[in-house]
Amino acid sequence: MKTAIFYDDLFLKHDTGSYHPEIPERLTAIIKRLEEKNLLDKFIPLKKRFATKDELELVHHDSYIDYVQHLAQKGGGYLDGDTPISKYSYEAAKLAAGSGLEAIDEIQNGNIESAILLVRPPGHHSLKSRGMGFCLFNNIAIAARYALQKGFKKIAILDWDVHHGNGTQDEFYKDKNVLFISIHQFPFYPGTGAIDEIGEGEGKGYTLNVPMPRGSTDADYKKAFENKILPKIIEYEPEILLISAGFDAHKLDPLGGIELSTSMYEWMTDKITKLAKECCNGKIISFLEGGYSLKALAESLEAHSTVLLDS
Ligand SMILES: [Zn+2]
């Protein structure tokens, strides 16, 4: 598949300080691994693009955007206890969000079929006017809103990060044009993502939460994919698939309590890629979210990349 990748050294300048799990080394570990395996050259590079303020406002309130900018300009601060901002965080966050927009444009222009966005800060916990859980701007939600603006009518978002994608769910809770599916450890941070959260109004039935108990394994996830997640996407017939690709459900992850192996990320990517080929000409954009074991993260990204490239 014609797969693009985006990465930039500016992401390393989002400084979360000592003792934070969401560190620049996460990205350098991934890049090093992809280089060692000669995978990096197989991707099409994606052009560097910062989201404009108007584009961030597709999801976020302008006063919140100004606040993030202000904190960065004064040298740093905290959005919540877990979510620090440093001098370059606003720029890095605009670049993370912008890469999703560039991927949508390149897919729509037919230059690529799929893309992997190796970005930080991550996005899926970020709410309209509040950053939380290491997330500043909701990269995947902004991309989905942008895609709707560009003429896509049906978008599916699959969030397989170990944490529930509360920010993304919130954004599309009343929206039938975006199917949001999250499989995550439950109960767990951020507390949302119960099975009875299914959407509201026009959006009722277009949110699917698949909560998994601590200790769930590859076999449990396979069952959930085969019985719930894949049929739901097939029934919806999306035009494009966006993945909130966190790798913190890996058994080596220090934050998550799920026991997935590296090969499970290969399995999930394979299933989703095959489905995307049928429903939407292979259109997939994968946004990096969590994943805090450097070893598990690098290995899982290698598996994820290989399947997308070879499909
Ligand atoms: Zn996570």
Distance 110 CA to ligand 1 centre (A): 32
Q: What is the pLDDT of residue 16?
A: 97
Q: Which residue has the tokens 């590079």?
A: 45
Mean pLDDT, residues 257-269 taken together = 98
- 178 membership: H or E segment, kind and range: strand 178-185
| Domains parsed from the chain with CATH numbers | 3-310 (3.40.800.20)
pLDDT in tens, 131-152: 999 999 999 999 999 999 999 9
Distance of alpha carbon 219 from alpha carbon 197, whole angstroms = 24
Catalytic residue among 125, 164, 184, 250: 125
Distance 108 CA to ligand 1 centre (A): 29
Angle at which helices 262-280 and 294-310 cross, to 10°:
30
Distance 107 CA to ligand 1 centre (A): 27
* The three-state (H, E, C) secondary structure of 51-90, written as one string: CCHHHHCCCCCHHHHHHHHHHHHCCEEEEECCEEEECCHH
Distance 6 CA to ligand 1 centre (A): 20
Residue 215 CB partners (closer than 8 Å, separation 6+): 257, 258, 259
Distance of alpha carbon 119 from alpha carbon 287, whole angstroms = 7
Distance 151 CA to ligand 1 centre (A): 30
Q: What is the pTM of this model?
A: 0.98
pLDDT in tens, 268-287: 999 999 999 999 989 999 99
Catalytic residue check, 125 = yes
Mean pLDDT, residues 61-65 taken together = 98
